[in-house]
Structure 1
Amino acid sequence: MAANSLTERNDERNVQAREETRSNEKYIRPAVNIIETEEGLVLTADIPGASKEALDVNVEKGILTITAPAQHTTQGTSAYREFELASYYRQFTIPESLDHEKAKAEYVNGILTLKVPKAEVAKPKRISVQVG
């Protein structure tokens, strides 16, 4: 069969094993944009199909982890599939200069938006120069 056939196995797509635990479970790495602003970092992640209640976002020892278990809600027997339903998992190292305690997350229409402000000590400060 050709590599681009309709029956191509999903093992070769964007689904991969989670290396940290050597788990046999498959995970999808959600697409992420990270933007640095003067106030801090804004992260947006594409996590369609995840439920807000099951979504887990945490920071521990400078590692930001996003996980969301797969939601198997479709009834019946699969006759044909082009995508595999797998849990979402992604990790990032983030600077300690961010104020993790003031981080805010919002999940709307499959998009997670996480805002992590810079700590006050990390924000640029203007120093006035006095004459004389």
Structure 2
Amino acid sequence: MAQELATQGGRNMTQTNGADTTVEHMFTPAVDIFEKDDTTVILADMPGVASDDVDITLERQVLTLIGRVKNHAPEGYRRLSAEYREGGYTRTFTLSDAVDQDKIKADFKHGTLRLELPRAAEAKPKKITVKAA
């Protein structure tokens, strides 16, 4: 099933908003991909992202993962130093026809997004019986 999923790894990007000095950093989440039986599992690491801030879209075989990190400064405090970078994560995968797109499952726990991509029934190997003539 490894050929059924192509990763389009991104790069760290900085986006600016015209005259606005707000800068949003876009990071590529670290991803592990596993296979078990007829399912491919993707684990994407998105530390600092809340489950409500994860978006997954699937359009024309392209699976896009987006996670946004919100400002984490405590209310009422003024920031003196910042080593945590705010921004978000984005990663894109191209799926083959062998993935059953209607049965993709996703869950998010402890900063890790887990996707299950089951193999489509028509893509599973079929046993052909040979009859003796």
TM-score, normalization by structure 1: 0.76
Give the C-alpha shift of residue 124 in structure 1.
Answer: 0.9
How far the C-alpha of 1:15 sits from its partner, in A, is 3.5
Superposed counterparts of 1:1-132, under 5 Å:
15-17=12-14, 25-75=24-74, 76-132=77-133
* Alpha-carbon contact 1:28-1:87 (below 8 Å) kept: yes
Structure of higher RCO (CA pairs closer than 8 Å, 6+ residues apart): 2
Quote the Cα distance in structure 2 between the aligned partners of 1:108 and 1:93.
24
The one-letter code matched in structure 2 to 1:26 is: H
Shift of 1:16: 1.5
CA distance in 2: counterparts of 1:120 and 1:54, whole angstroms: 32
Residues 73/82 of structure 1: CA separation in 2 closer, same or farther (3 Å cut): closer
Aligned-residue identity in percent: 31
Partner of 2:122, secondary structure, is helix
Aligned residues: 114
Higher strand share: 2
1:27 to partner: Cα distance? 0.6
Q: Which amino acid aligns with 2:95?
A: I
Q: Is the 8 A contact 1:106 1:112 kept in 2?
A: yes
Indicate if the aligned counterparts of 1:15 and 1:86 stay in contact, CA closer than 8 A. Answer: no
Tell me the distance in 1 between the aligned counterparts of 2:106 and 2:98.
18
Q: Is the 8 A contact 2:25 2:86 kept in 1?
A: no
Name the CA distance, whole Å, in 1 between partners of 2:25 and 2:71. 14
Consecutive unaligned residues of structure 1, counting only runs of 5 or more, are 1-13, 19-23
Q: Return the alpha-carbon distance in structure 2 between the equivalents of residues 81 and 26 of structure 1.
A: 14
Cα distance, 1:80 vs structure 2: 2.3
Q: How far did residue 73 of structure 1 move?
A: 2.8
Deviations 1:74-126 (A, max 9, x none): 22222222231111111111112211110000111111110011111101111
